[in-house]
């Protein structure tokens, strides 16, 4: 808790866990569905009225952000842990040791890092930003997000945008399917909406690669598998056309791009087999993403004219290079996080000066109004225009006198709550608490 000398408080608190700090079995129990998140935030509002909360729950993290100020500080860490344990039916004694606890500036810095993808399993991955937005949006809908969390999450979105635009940390692909499509296939084809894609095998890697191809515009997809029922099942799930392995030659001749992930122990497509179907291709380019181990395509096929053949080793090497490229961008990204954290904390600390500033302005305005009233009574012959001119001169004079202490308060706020300066102003101008 960050307390002012007047006894008021402004607090930010966080308890949570990620894939790095909590085992999967316990993380699964702690995770919240959309409906459970709604119920949890409603329960929080009832148990801790006047406090703010945002719940972020993804496959890799569960984090509960809470805030409060003045005479209603955020719940204590123990209260938050007990609340989470109660909502998910977990023994708090078991939950407490594996939960991360953070407060004040550390909460802000952590959230900014999360939103920018710096705390993700895949460095710089963009999906987390959408999840952060959704979590805050739900809190807004339910009324559990107030001025503190709203300011913090708005600043987090701004920070994530800066990291994305001012660094290259999120521009390099780091998964094999994304590299296969964006770095390799897109290096040959300018568009995918007119290309025929052939999936050999029914592995998860093939389905994931197809997802990226769909995002790139792919429409026509054929699935072949040695087990016909498996091909039919996968094709139905992926919105593709099932085929039979007996037609492998015909399908290869018609394809523009092949994604192969079979579990065969020997090449499915030999050099001789490809040479036989090659005339039917009429020289059209062919990209083969051979993600199988052992390889499905004889590597010599990559030497044929118009064939771009990439093995899983090619893709892994590209992923590793991209990861190293992202790591080089970390110092720049962390500098942005630090800058934005200090900026937000300065703004938050400056909030504590608002009551004193209002008292100063109110007192000076009251004194000024009384003096103007006395002056106008002594000078009854003044016209409206002259009275307005004198009134404006008084207001400008008061604003100039107020300007230095206000600037000092904001400057002091950048390095922490300006308790000493606030106390001095209260004593100098005899302000109430």
**Which of the listed residues 166, 188, 205 is the one where a domain comes to its end?**
166
Structural domain includes residue 323: no
pLDDT of residue 39 exceeding 80, the answer is yes
CB 8 within 8 A of CB 35: no
Mean local confidence (pLDDT), 327-333: 89
User: Can you give the pLDDT at residue 25?
Assistant: 82
Mean local confidence (pLDDT), 319-333: 82
User: Can you give the pLDDT at residue 421?
Assistant: 62
User: Can you give the pLDDT at residue 382?
Assistant: 84
Domain co-membership, 137 together with 201: no
Of the listed 5, 24, 39, 59, which one is catalytic?
Answer: 59
Q: How many structural domains are present in the chain?
A: 3
Domain co-membership, 420 together with 381: yes
User: Can you give the pLDDT at residue 2?
Assistant: 41
Domain co-membership, 36 together with 121: yes
Domain co-membership, 90 together with 18: yes
**Which of the listed residues 102, 132, 166 is the one where a domain comes to its end?**
166
Domain co-membership, 116 together with 202: no
Token reading at 37: 């998140």
Question: Which of the four pLDDT bands, split at 50, 70 and 90, describes residue 137?
Answer: very high
Domain co-membership, 7 together with 147: yes
User: Can you give the pLDDT at residue 321?
Assistant: 76
Beta strands of 219-278 (E only): which ranges? 220-224, 241-242, 257-260
Helix (H) or strand (E) holding 160: helix 147-166
Question: Which of the four pLDDT bands, split at 50, 70 and 90, describes residue 6?
Answer: very low
User: Can you give the pLDDT at residue 60?
Assistant: 81
Domain co-membership, 158 together with 186: no
How far apart are the C-alpha atoms of 174 and 323, rounded to whole Å? 6
Helices 127-142, 147-166: crossing angle, 10 deg rounding: 160
3-state secondary structure of 56: strand
pLDDT of residue 353 exceeding 80, the answer is no
How far apart are the C-alpha atoms of 63 and 353, rounded to whole Å? 30
**Of the ranges 92-96, 236-240, 351-355, the best mean pLDDT one:** 92-96
Structural domain includes residue 27: yes
Domain that holds residue 365: 353-428
User: Can you give the pLDDT at residue 7?
Assistant: 39
**Which of the listed residues 106, 132, 166 is the one where a domain comes to its end?**
166
Structural domain includes residue 261: yes
3-state secondary structure of 181: helix
The per-residue DSSP string of 318-380 comes to HHHHHHHHHHHHHHHHHHHHHHHHHHHHHHHHHHTTHHHHHHHHHHHHHHHHHHHHHHHHH-T
Token reading at 320: 């590793």
Domain holding 270: CATH number? 3.40.50.720
Domain co-membership, 161 together with 188: no
Helices 34-47, 127-142: crossing angle, 10 deg rounding: 50
Active site residue 319: no
Domain holding 61: CATH number? 3.30.460.30
Domain co-membership, 87 together with 109: yes
Domain co-membership, 202 together with 139: no
Of the listed ranges 35-49, 161-175, 330-344, the least confidently predicted one is 161-175
Domain co-membership, 360 together with 384: yes
Of the listed ranges 42-56, 104-118, 338-352, 399-413, the least confidently predicted one is 399-413
Of the listed ranges 78-92, 265-279, 395-409, the least confidently predicted one is 395-409
Q: What is the sign of the dihedral through the CA atoms of 305, 255, 205 and 321?
A: positive
């Amino acid at each position: 808790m960050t307390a002012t000398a007047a006894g008021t408080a402004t607090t930010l608190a966080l308890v949570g866990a990620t894939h790095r700090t909590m085992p999967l079995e316990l993380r699964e129990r702690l995770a919240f569905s959309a409906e459970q998140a709604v119920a949890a935030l409603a329960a929080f509002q009832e148990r801790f009225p006047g406090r703010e909360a945002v719940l972020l729950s993804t496959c890799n993290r569960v984090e509960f952000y809470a805030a409060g100020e003045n005479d209603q500080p955020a719940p204590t860490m123990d209260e938050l842990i007990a609340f989470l344990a109660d909502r998910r039916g977990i023994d708090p004694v078991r939950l407490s040791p594996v939960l991360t606890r953070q407060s004040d500036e550390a909460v802000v810095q952590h959230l900014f890092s999360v939103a920018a993808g710096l705390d993700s399993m895949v460095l710089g991955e963009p999906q987390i930003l959408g999840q952060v937005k959704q979590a805050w949006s739900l809190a807004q809908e339910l009324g559990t997000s107030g001025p503190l969390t709203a300011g913090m999450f708005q600043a987090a979105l701004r920070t994530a945008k800066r990291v994305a635009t001012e660094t290259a940390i999120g521009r390099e692909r780091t998964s094999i399917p994304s590299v296969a499509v964006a770095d390799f296939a897109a290096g040959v084809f300018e568009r995918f909406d007119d290309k025929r894609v052939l999936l050999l095998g029914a592995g998860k890697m093939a389905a994931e690669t197809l997802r990226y191809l769909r995002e790139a515009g792919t429409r026509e997809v054929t699935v072949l598998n040695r087990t016909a029922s498996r091909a039919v099942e996968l094709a139905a799930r992926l919105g593709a056309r099932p085929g039979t392995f007996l037609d492998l030659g015909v399908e290869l001749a018609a394809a523009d791009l092949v994604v192969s992930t079979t579990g065969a122990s020997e090449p499915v497509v030999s050099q001789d087999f490809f040479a036989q179907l090659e005339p039917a291709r009429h020289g059209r380019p062919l990209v083969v993403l051979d993600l199988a181990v052992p390889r499905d395509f004889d590597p010599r096929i990559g030497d044929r004219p118009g064939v771009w053949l990439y093995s899983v080793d090619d893709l892994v090497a590209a992923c590793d290079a991209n990861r190293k490229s992202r790591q080089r961008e970390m110092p720049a990204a962390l500098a942005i996080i630090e800058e934005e954290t200090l900026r937000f904390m300065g703004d938050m600390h400056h909030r504590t000066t608002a009551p004193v500033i209002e008292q100063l302005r109110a007192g000076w305005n009251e004194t000024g109004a009384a003096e103007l009233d006395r002056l106008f009574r002594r000078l009854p012959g003044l016209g409206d225009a002259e009275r307005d001119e004198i009134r404006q001169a008084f207001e400008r004079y008061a604003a100039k006198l107020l300007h230095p202490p206000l600037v000092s308060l904001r400057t002091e706020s950048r390095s922490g709550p300006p308790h000493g300066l606030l106390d001095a102003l209260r004593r100098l101008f005899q302000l109430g608490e």
